[in-house]
Structure 1
């Protein structure tokens, strides 16, 4: 089996990842884990749900930002939480095809149920340890960018 990704890129172009996370330590861990991965990527970080929607809609300071190939979304964020972001994205035909992966510390059954009710593509609980977190990110990278066929970006 080839190591060439079959997802949104042939590695001539980086994978565009939007990380919606308000915890600076989790941002650092996620970036570091993706930096050590196999795929060339650009990670764009926003710190709350309002900024997430602006980025996705390419509004304000994000007008020149690329459409993400995938969104890693925390549930517990200020101004607009991840569940509200999911509901907004689900209702927007321009955004509804972007895969959104919930990556959160919440293990609450209600959060899991509501995430899938609002069309989350996956729900992952953040591991506590650095090595486990790095392995989770590696698996995200392998599954979403090497195995899954994603829509072409415009």
Structure 2
């Protein structure tokens, strides 16, 4: 999606989520919101890091403009993904929004300590979830200015 605030280029969004229902709702939000950005999905922390570091099966993956990251993931959890991203001087600049069911204050604090750009608790109601994804897209991909690949060299 584009606006007078943001880039005219569609963004690559990486969704790191293992819940099929939440994946379906996120895809629905992008479709219903007529969001022109490309949604990539991986279902565990190891695949997320492979995608982000463009290795193994994801060697040709695009560098995402933003990551939507669940905390409760198989193989490597969201905190481990955040920690590894933070260690890399280029990839730490990719905005990561934690999108999780946890309302625990300790999870919020830890996510921000690991340099998450934001923390959202998933609403239980599917309609509210879809609205939240559409608002998140509007803010982060239409209004906010994100670093470009040339900013990262």
**Normalised by the size of structure 1, how large is the TM-score?**
0.92
| 1:80 match | 76
| 2:3 match | 4
Match of 2:65 among 62, 66, 69: 69
Alignment of 1:113 with 2:112, yes or no, is no
Q: Is the 8 Å Cα contact of residues 29 and 134 (structure 2) preserved in structure 1?
A: yes
**RMSD (CA atoms):** 1.3
Q: Summarize deviations over 1:37-58 as a string: whole Å, max 9, x none.
A: 2431111111111110000000
Gaps of 5+ in 1: none
- Aligned counterparts of 1:89 and 1:35: Cα–Cα separation in 2: 29
1:130 deviation in Å? Answer: 1.2
- Aligned counterparts of 1:151 and 1:95: Cα–Cα separation in 2: 11
Q: How many residues align?
A: 149
- Aligned counterparts of 2:4 and 2:104: Cα–Cα separation in 1: 34
1:94 deviation in Å? Answer: 2.1
1:6 deviation in Å? Answer: 3.4
Where is the helix percentage greater, Structure 1 or Structure 2? 2
**Normalised by the size of structure 2, how large is the TM-score?**
0.93
| Structure 1 runs, 4 residues or longer, greater than 4 Å off | none
- Aligned counterparts of 1:24 and 1:61: Cα–Cα separation in 2: 21
